[in-house]
């Protein structure tokens, strides 16, 4: 468990740094992460929903423990499926631009901050570090679709100027 915790926090730092230095790469990596989380959580909530009850053990706030062991426990698949679909929508939004991109980033930030009180279950403080990376993406000028940058670079590469003799 310690190795997974360290890897999660290291990945969060890398994602946040990428958001600052290479926002397009970061958008792609966050989209992959949220897409994978969508797939994983959807399958897990359907096949082995009881694993989500273990998050109550590491929860930092009593209200989270009470919720997980109470109402959530009776409706795990419903709650986690909703979260998974939301994660899928966030993944798609990170590929887009404009209001859809911004809405996805805001949704991702709210989600990441909201899971922080799960403590070790959310690899705390990894989710807060990733939320900071999302905030950097929101502050960055992301005025194009994610796929536009590589396509534009391939279509119109920068040609070095030649000096006339």
**C-alpha dist (Å) from residue 81 to 60, 75, 117, 154:** 24, 10, 20, 39
Interval 20-39: pLDDT, tens: 999 999 999 999 999 999 99
User: d(Cα 102, Cα 113) in Å, to the nearest integer?
Assistant: 16
pLDDT digits (tens, 9 = 90+) for 134-163: 999 999 877 778 877 665 555 555 555 555
69-114 per-position pLDDT tens digit: 999 999 999 999 999 999 999 999 999 999 999 999 999 999 999 9
Comparison of pLDDT for 103 and 165, the residue scoring more = 103
Is residue 115 pLDDT above 80, yes or no? Answer: yes
The neighbour count for residue 75, using CB atoms within 10 Å, is 12
């Amino acid at each position: 468990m310690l190795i997974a915790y360290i890897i999660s926090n290291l990945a969060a730092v890398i994602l946040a740094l990428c958001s600052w230095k290479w926002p397009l790469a970061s958008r792609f990596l966050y989209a992959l992460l949220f897409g994978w989380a969508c797939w994983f959580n959807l399958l897990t909530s359907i096949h082995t929903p009881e694993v989500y009850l273990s998050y109550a053990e590491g929860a930092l706030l009593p209200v989270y423990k009470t919720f997980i062991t109470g109402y959530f426990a009776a409706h795990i698949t419903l709650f986690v499926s909703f979260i998974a679909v939301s994660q899928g929508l966030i993944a798609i939004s990170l590929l887009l631009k404009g209001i859809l991109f911004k809405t996805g980033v805001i949704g991702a930030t709210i989600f990441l901050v909201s899971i922080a009180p799960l403590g070790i279950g959310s690899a705390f403080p990894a989710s807060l570090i990733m939320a900071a990376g999302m905030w950097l993406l929101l502050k960055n000028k992301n005025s194009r679709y994610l796929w536009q940058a590589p396509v534009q670079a391939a279509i119109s590469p920068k040609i070095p100027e030649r000096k006339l003799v």
